[in-house]
Structure 1
Amino acid sequence: MKINSLHIQFRLPLIMACLFIGQMFFAQDSIPEKPLDVYLDEARLYSNQDKIDLAILSLQNAAKVAEKNEDVKALIDCYHKFAIVYLRLDKEDTTLFYWDRAKALLKDIEYPYGNAIHKYIEGVIEFKNEKSFQARYLLDEAKQLNNDRNMFNNILLVEGNIFLNQEKYDDAQKNFNSLVINTDIYEKEYLATKAHIGLSKVFIKTEKHKEASDNAEKALAMAQKHGFFKEIFEANQLLGITYENLELFDKALISNKNLLGLRDSIFNIDKIKTEMKVADKVQFDFMGDQIKLQDQKIEELTESQNRSELTAIATTAFLMIISLLAISLYRNNQIKLKTNDLLQTKNNELQVARDEAVQAMEAKSNFLSTVSHELRTPLYAVTGLTHLLLEENPNAEQKEHLKALKFSGDYLLNFINDILHINKIDADKLEPLNIEFNLKKVLKEVIDSLKQSANENHTKIVLDYDESIPSHLMSDPLKLSQIIMNLVGNALKFTKNGEVKVIVKLLKKVEEDVSIYFEVSDNGIGISKEKQESIFEGFEQGSIQINREYGGTGLGLTIVKSLLGLFNSKIELRSELDVGSAFFFELNIKSKDSIIDDIPFEMTPKDYEFEGLHILIVEDNKINQVITKKMLTKKGITSDIASNGFEAVDLAGANTYDAILMDIHMPGISGDEATIRIRKFDPSTPIIALTAISLDDSLEVFYAAGCNDVVTKPFKPEVFYQKIGENIFDNKIKNSAS
């Protein structure tokens, strides 16, 4: 809803007043030298390590920077983080004080993230006051207002504890399992530690004492490694309980001694005193500034009393002028009222039009998601049957036809994947991961996968890689490889008897912050000046003639542009007709200087002996059942078939299988729900999700349900067999070693 100018005039003084109060509150002799984000990150880290005094001081510095920059949104963030820190000290009055300060500023600006955090804090307060229903309602509202990953993970944590209190243990376990494998940029280790603590509590309640102790031990190890003091204390508490339940009394005694040591330590006592002293000092300073502000107002009122007589004379003259203007103002006011009514009507019309546009976009996304998902199921039959027929020694003419069929199937699959990918980006359902990888290895794998296409065009791919780039980086290698693959694939398509060059250079490195330059160039047909502006739009390939000659959907560069947007980067182009093209961009990512050993990005493919394995196939499509069963039979694997989730649970309970291949989208109960039920009585059998993944699917949900791995349909046979081997044989080796 739009705010009219009159409303802004009345609310503006309130914003200025809040900023003025903040300036008095945070005024100190020293001026912070670090950027605001650094102080906020420090405050988050100190708070998680239970160093509340340092967290408060960092927030004080952050607020001073926000005041200096006149950044209202940043000041709102500071007030919210103050509220969260004081909530950890159980000082609810102070929490509500800062919460109210943020609320006053939020009334006058559009700030979805600020509104979401505001609801989140209110929900946590309600949860602490044992109002679980109201808390969940507020947390749901927070999720609707903003999709920030860190906030969403913290909401999952609070919801997990609410489910735990309500004895909804399956729901609580699902939330905590999701957080164990979280990819949060800011609090990955802290959230995983809290998740293990939550899981330990769930298993204590459900009397699964071994699982409870395993999770408490993992929580303790992570908490000790990262200095999470409160979680060290809590993990020792849980270990004392679980070891006693397991009759491991020596270990229970050690945990209880650790607990007493932590509770009675001088460090702990001094820590609490220091935290309360700092917290109270911040409150005291603020109240002192408020008193000074009131004294200043009293002095101003006293001075104004001495001028009251002169004011009375001036007022009489002023009233005479006002009387003359009253009629004119009245008429102007009537005109304004009519104008406001007209503006309100137009605003309502715009709101309706916006809602209709949003609904149309959602309908388009859902339609494309459904179509792309439904196409995958019959496409699985096409690619699967083609693979089986090619292995049955067809004659030369049949083999040629089957290869053409396989090419068409792969082409159609790539097209469907492109549509689904664009759809996910448009629907804001794609987020970059933050995991460790080796950039050179990723690039070599991309180039190796495209060498066959290069050979067909008699084109050479050259990698010019700067060896000074750190070997261990933190980002999303999957999305980065997709960007490079699309750019190199695009270059190969338009280059024959030539060269495609991948250039990767280190621009700068400051501690763990690394800037890298990427370029993919070719000496192909080039792009005309008039087409360069639209080349990154969907389904654009320069011209209809180019599309007919070279094929493709024109979505590759659109995906590149959208994926780079997730990294706050931008694709750029220079090109000349009949000379060639170069696409280039820069990425700012983190390095891991402390790691020395090289970690492979992907497991080396192995040959496994499948003879004698017995596997359960869970699949509702009859054709897919036949194809999957035949693919297993070719490797000497016997199998049973379940046509829905209910049958899968029954068969898994009545038989012993080496693995379960679980379709996700089925009538009745879904594959992830069936997996949750199976895991209640069978925690060890590998379960591999086979899914024609759709817009709303999340790999984290599959893993949280209890799946060991995910394979998307239609899949390459070699990937299918590799996943089965890894999860059956490598898991056995890992379990026997532990």
Structure 2
Amino acid sequence: MTLNLLHLRLSGKMLILLCSFLYAQVTFAQDDVSSTAKVQSIFDSYIQFRHQNQVDLALETLNEAAEIAESNEDAKLLLDTYHQYARIFLEEGDRETAIFYWDRASILLKDLSYPFGEAFHKYLEAALRFDEGNYFQSLKLLEESRTLSNNRNLGNNILLLEGYIFTNIEKYEDAATNLNALIVNSDDKERPYLATKANLQLAQISISLDDLEDAIIHGKAALELSQKHKFSKESKIANQLLSVIYEKTGNFNESLFYKKNLEKIKDSIFNIEKVKLENKTADRIRFDHQMNEINKLTAKNEELSESKNRSEITAILTSAFLTIISLLAVSLFRNNQIKLKTNDLLYTKNKELELARDAAVSAMEAKTNFLSTVTHELRTPLYAVTGLTHLLLEENPSNHQKEHLKSLKFSGDYLLNFINDILQINKIDADKLEPLNIEFKLQKVLTDVVDSLQQNANENSTSLILDYDPNIPSQLLGDPIKLSQIFMNLVGNALKFTKNGKVEVIAKLLRKEEEEVKLYFEVKDNGIGISEEQQKNIFDSFEQGSVQINREYGGTGLGLTIVKSLLGLFDSKIHLESELGHGSSFFFEMDLRCDSEALQSVAFELDPEEFDFKGLHVLVVEDNKINQVITKKMLNKKEITCDIANNGNEAIDLAKANTYDAILMDIHMPGISGEEATRQIRKFDEEIPIIALTAISLDDSLDNFYQAGCNDVVTKPFKPEVFYQKIGQNIFKKKTEGLV
């Protein structure tokens, strides 16, 4: 019985304690909800007072919020309050006080994780930069603010400030986009106010663009909203704008009407007293807050003094320390302002440089595309000129006709070389050249260059000699085509300026380490030489030393530029040693790879004179009628018969239905290209030699032709001897390999 009574008593006490605890929790929750609702009500009142330009009442409500935040030790609420203080003082033109509150907010933010607070802090900093005139810095800060919070109201205020900035930097279209979005905004806090501000700014933009009708529409919309919601400051601005706009249109009655409204607002006793009251309230609140800060610092100072027995020395040191800190703070603030202005200037200059760079790139692309199109289009008529000239020379013309035809042939060859050089330079400038990495025989490449230029050497009574180091591995990996181009330009250049002399082409092995070889190349002559002054610019485009040299020897002045650029693809550099009247020496080094395990086999070579073209039957794929006639006649000269395909589809059908010894494939044709036609033919015939005949443009790549299935490439317009040699090499090499 006693135990039961004891148990009941204990249970009763526990129940009382539990009820007390629950009551306390409910009361605390109610107080918390009540406090939150009260703070929200305060901020709602603040927004209304701020919009209606009742600055004194707005500051009073903020002060009430700050007191609640301090009593509840609510750092986030206090931060929000400081931010609003900074905002309203900045809007009222008191920049110094705005910075005072912004700095206090900065201190609070260091110990808070509050994304919205950080975002609003960035927004206020952007507003301060805008007030200074640092527009690009302000835009950058607004973008950072946008990424920190997706709060709708903050986002709309960012749009508005961006609209002001875009207007000031005359990006009216961007400004209008932002402001029109604010006119129809769905902001739950500031919808009418934002729409009013947006209409006022759009009216300003319309005035700048001399669109006065649109300016009137936005001005009246702003006035209607401001009067309806008692936005006194905005109402004043709207009346002022409408007065100016109507004066510009010549409607002086309407202008006078709005000017009178404006004068009423300005001269109203209510407004004069209101300004006095606002200033008094602002000064009091600012003074109270600043005194509060001073009292805190004084209390800390006294505490320090007491801990040191109020030593006179400590007091002096503390005072000196505080003075130094204050001076440093002022200095840092000024330096920060200078830094921000400098950053904004740098940001502006960077933007200008980016625009200049983009313009330069666009100009370069336009130039490249133009030259590519021109050079490509010139090749078709040039093919007719060179082809018909060759055919006429083959038909035994009279002596006086032969002289004219030779002059015509020379002019055609000169023009062809010029076009090829321009195309090569543009490919290099456009970064559309990449070195190949295929197996080749260096000795054969150099021998071919020397043999092809031997006739030029004979005409100048000059001996052309190849000095080739036998220790160089026979099988190398690299780009034989570009290497050939380098030596064609260097040797051709040397022969041009050397008469009754000697030109040497030298290739030496410097060292060999496993599969890596370093080679030394030199082309030297004993021609006219180059002066020291001329050597400085000799590798620049269209440079030939002097006008007299250009007139005497001709040429484009692009050869050495091409050499320098091509060697750059191999990470190599051309060097020059020359003395006027004693010849020149161009030399460079190059790293290549070799296949040490490759068989040192001797390739089977055919002499062009041994080609027996009689009885060959080929397919010519060409869409140009003149080119068809010329190509057919050139083939018939060697007793080669041919069929003509006008496009890629015809070529595929004829290749399926007939047997040919080779296909001469034009690349650029309407419908499917020569590359695609080659791919289709390779699906059912992998053996037939296909030679691409094409006027290569800037976008063409030899690699693409070979990957499509072409065995060789001849560029149009071509030299007849090259044309016949390529046909013979590909047809007879295939047959010879089959026999072997």
Q: 1:520: which partner in 2?
A: 523
Shift of 1:611: 4.2
Change (3 A) 1:708 1:445: closer
> Bigger relative contact order, structure 1 or 2, given CA contacts below 8 A and separation 6+?
1
Letter in 2 for 1:406: K
What is aligned with 1:398? Answer: 401
Return closer, same or farther for 1:580/1:675 CA change in 2, 3 Å cut-off: closer
Instruction: Provide the residue aligned with 1:380 in structure 2.
Output: 383
Partner of 1:353: 356
Distance apart, 1:466 and its partner CA: 3.0
Cα distance between partner residues in 2 of 1:597 and 1:603: 19
1:4-55 CA-to-partner distances (Å, cap 9, x unmatched) read xxxxxxxxxxxxxxxxxxxxxxxxxxxxxxxxxxxxxxxxxxxxxxxxxxxx
For 1:577, the equivalent position in structure 2 comes to 580
2:633 to 624, 630, 648: 630
Q: CA deviation at 1:551?
A: 0.9
Partner of 2:593: 590
Measure the CA separation in 2 of the matches of 1:361 and 1:422.
13
Q: Give TM-score scaled by structure 1 length.
A: 0.53
For 1:507, what is the secondary structure of its paired residue?
strand
Residue of structure 2 in register with 1:505 after alignment: 508
Give the 3 Å change call, closer, same or farther, for CA 722–505 of structure 1 in structure 2: closer
Gaps of 5+ in 2: 1-306, 309-313
Assess if the C-alpha contact under 8 Å between 1:437 and 1:599 holds in 2: no
TM-superposed CA distance for 1:609, in Å, is: 4.3
Give the AA of the match of 1:556. Answer: G
What's the CA shift string for 1:94-136, capped at 9, x where partnerless? xxxxxxxxxxxxxxxxxxxxxxxxxxxxxxxxxxxxxxxxxxx
Aligned to 2:712: 709
1:699-728 alpha-carbon deviations (Å, 9 max, x no partner): 222233333332211123233334334444
Label 1:652 to 1:416 Cα distance change in 2 as closer, same or farther (>3 A).
same
> In the alignment, does 2:719 pair up with 1:719?
no
Structure 2 partner of 1:443: 446
Q: Cα deviations across residues 385-413 of structure 1 (Å, max 9, x unaligned)?
A: 12212222222332232222222222221
SS of the residue corresponding to residue 510 of structure 2 reads strand
User: Matched residues in 1 for 2:710 and 2:506: separation?
Assistant: 39
- The within-5 A match list for 1:62-73 is none
Aligned position for 1:493: 496
Q: Find the aligned partners of 1:443 and 1:431 in 2 and give their Cα distance.
A: 21
What's the counterpart of residue 458 of structure 1? Answer: 461
Query: Radius of gyration: which is bigger?
Result: 2
Amino acid at match of 1:692: A
* Equivalent in the alignment of 2:331: 328
- Give the aligned partner of residue 480 of structure 1: 483
* Amino acid paired to 1:515: K
Contact conserved, 1:505 with 1:517, CA < 8 A, in 2?
yes
Aligned partners of 1:711, 1:650: CA distance in 2, in Å? Answer: 24
Match status 1:673 vs 2:661: no
Contact 2:475 2:600 (C-alpha < 8 Å) held by counterparts: no
How far residue 331 of structure 1 moved from its aligned partner, in angstroms, is: 3.1
Contact 1:442 1:601 in 2 (8 A): no
Cα drift, residue 358 of structure 1: 0.8
Give CA deviations for 1:517-564 in whole Å, capped at 9, x if unaligned.
222222221111111100111111111011111111111111111111
Q: Spell out, residue by residue over 1:276-334, the C-alpha distance to the aligned partner (whole angstroms, 9 max, x if none).
A: xxxxxxxxxxxxxxxxxxxxxxxxxxxxxxxxxxxx999x9899965653343333323
Return the letter of the residue paired with 2:534: K
Alpha-carbon separation, structure 2, partners of 1:601 and 1:425 = 34
1:624 to 1:590, Cα distance in 2 relative to 1, 3 A: same
Query: 2:176: which partner in 1?
Result: none
User: Gaps (5+ residues) in structure 1?
Assistant: 1-311
Q: Give, as a single letter, the amino acid of the residue that structure 1 aligns with 2:638.
A: K
Please tell me whether residue 531 in structure 1 is matched to residue 534 in structure 2.
Answer: yes
Amino acid at match of 1:485: M
Contact 2:474–2:600 (CA under 8 A) maintained in structure 1: no
Q: Which amino acid aligns with 2:518?
A: S
Return 324-333 or 454-463, whichever deviates more: 324-333
Contact 1:687–1:709, Cα closer than 8 Å, also in 2: yes
Give the aligned residue type for 1:450.
L
* 1:496–1:641 distance in 2 versus 1, CA, 3 Å: same
The 2-side partners of 1:550 and 1:558 are apart by 17
Cα distance 1:430–1:338, how it changes in 2: closer, same or farther (>3 A)?
Answer: same
Structure 1 position 596, deviation (Å) = 4.8
Relative to structure 1, the CA distance from residue 656 to residue 583 in structure 2 (aligned partners, 3 Å threshold; closer, same or farther) is closer
1:563 corresponds to which residue?
Answer: 566
Q: Do the aligned residues in 1 keep the contact of 2:606 with 2:729 (CA within 8 Å)? A: no
Query: What SS does structure 1 have at the residue aligned with 2:705?
Result: helix
Q: For residues 137-148 of structure 1, what are the structure 2 equivalents within 5 Å?
A: none
Conserved? CA contact 1:437–1:601, under 8 Å: no
The Cα of 1:735 is off from its aligned counterpart by 6.1
Distance 1:486 1:594 in 2: 33
| 1:644 and 2:641 correspond | no
Change in CA separation of 1:719 and 1:488 when aligned onto 2, cut-off 3 Å: closer
Contact kept, 8 Å, 2:623 with 2:669, in 1: the verdict is: yes
Q: Distance in 2 between matches of 1:601 and 1:736?
A: 12
The verdict on how the C-alpha distance between 1:676 and 1:488 changes in structure 2, with shifts beyond 3 A counting, is closer
Counterpart contact for 1:438–1:601, Cα < 8 Å: no
Q: Distance in 2 between matches of 1:467 and 1:626?
A: 47
Residue 627 of structure 1: how far off its partner (Å): 0.7
CA distance in 1, matches of 2:509, 2:655: 53
C-alpha distance in structure 2 between counterparts of 1:322 and 1:591, whole Å: 71
Counterpart contact for 2:469–2:508, Cα < 8 Å: yes
Q: 1:732 and 1:451 mapped to 2: Cα distance?
A: 30
- 1:447-497 CA-to-partner distances (Å, cap 9, x unmatched) read 222221111111122333333333333222222222222222211111111
Q: Name the structure 1 match of 2:422.
A: 419
Q: CA RMSD in A?
A: 3.0
Q: Indicate if the aligned counterparts of 1:420 and 1:695 stay in contact, CA closer than 8 A.
A: yes
* CA distance, structure 2, for counterparts of residue 686 and residue 455 of structure 1: 35
Amino acid at match of 1:392: E
> 2-side partners of 1:373 and 1:527: how far apart?
34
Query: Partner of 1:131 in structure 2?
Result: none
Q: Distance in 1 between matches of 2:667 and 2:417?
A: 21
Shift of 1:685: 4.5
1:550–1:732 Cα change, 3 Å = closer
Q: What is the DSSP-based 3-state SS (H/G/I as helix, E as strand, rest coil) of the residue aligned with 1:570? A: coil
Letter in 1 for 2:568: G
Contact 1:369 1:423 in 2 (8 A): yes
- Contact 2:678–2:710 (8 Å) recurs in 1: yes
TM-score by length of 2: 0.53
User: Per-residue deviation at 1:631?
Assistant: 1.9
Q: 1:573 to 1:430 in 2, by over 3 A?
A: same
What is the CA distance between 1:602 and its match in structure 2?
6.7
Q: Does 1:389 align with 2:392?
A: yes
Q: Which residue of 2 aligns with 1:408?
A: 411
Which moved further from structure 2: 382-391 or 718-727?
Answer: 718-727
Alignment partners' CA distance in 2, 1:655 and 1:443? 39
Aligned to 2:4: none
Which residue does 1:550 correspond to in 2? 553
Counterpart-to-counterpart distance in 2, 1:481 and 1:594: 25
Q: Paired residue for 2:702, among 690, 699, 709?
A: 699
Residues of 2 paired with 1:397 and 1:378: CA distance? 25
**640-649 vs 480-489, which moves further:** 640-649
Q: Residue 523 of structure 1 contacts residue 581 of structure 1 at CA under 8 Å; is this kept in 2?
A: yes
**CA-to-aligned-CA distance 1:212-270 (integer Å, 9 cap, x gap):** xxxxxxxxxxxxxxxxxxxxxxxxxxxxxxxxxxxxxxxxxxxxxxxxxxxxxxxxxxx
Q: Give matches, 1:224-263, under 5 Å.
A: none
User: The residue matched to 2:403 in structure 1 has which SS?
Assistant: helix
Residues 677/521 of structure 1: CA separation in 2 closer, same or farther (3 Å cut): closer
**Aligned 8 A contact 2:475 2:594 in 1:** yes
Q: Letter of the 1:486 partner, please give it.
A: N
- Aligned partner letter, 2:339: K
Distance in 2, matches of 1:501 and 1:612, equals 42
